[in-house]
Amino acid sequence: MPLTMVQSGRKVRLIAVEAGRGLQARLAAMGLVPGAEIQVIRNSGHGPFVIAVKGSRVMLGRGMAHKIIVA
């Protein structure tokens, strides 16, 4: 399922990034690689999407978060 469907407070594992090489490389530089554990900090349905990955908080746009597939 896309990361945008995950409720705040839940932890999920990144499966894939369905995007071009540029976005995949940018997300990988932030620690968002397949197998990474992600905790959703803020998903209010509007505004920025905030996650915690590898001890850092990352703010993503909704379009970017929708391309991240998790389980």
What is the C-alpha separation between 62 and 43, in angstroms, rounded?
9
Q: Show pLDDT as tens, one digit a residue, over the chain (71 residues).
A: 999 999 999 999 999 999 999 999 999 999 999 999 999 999 998 888 999 999 999 999 999 999 999 99
What pLDDT is stored for residue 57 in this prediction?
96
Q: Could you tell me the domains of the chain?
A: 3-70 (2.30.30.90)
Q: Which two tokens stand for residue 4?
A: 């945008």
pLDDT for res 46? 83
Per-residue pLDDT tens over the stretch 30-50 = 999 999 999 999 999 888 899
- Contact between residue 57 and residue 41 where contact means Cβ atoms under 8 Å apart: yes
Give the pLDDT score at 47: 83
Tell me how far apart the alpha carbons of residues 30 and 45 are, in angstroms, rounded to a whole number.
Answer: 23
Alpha carbon distance 23, 41 (integer Å) = 21
Distance between CA atoms of 61 and 32, rounded to whole angstroms? 14
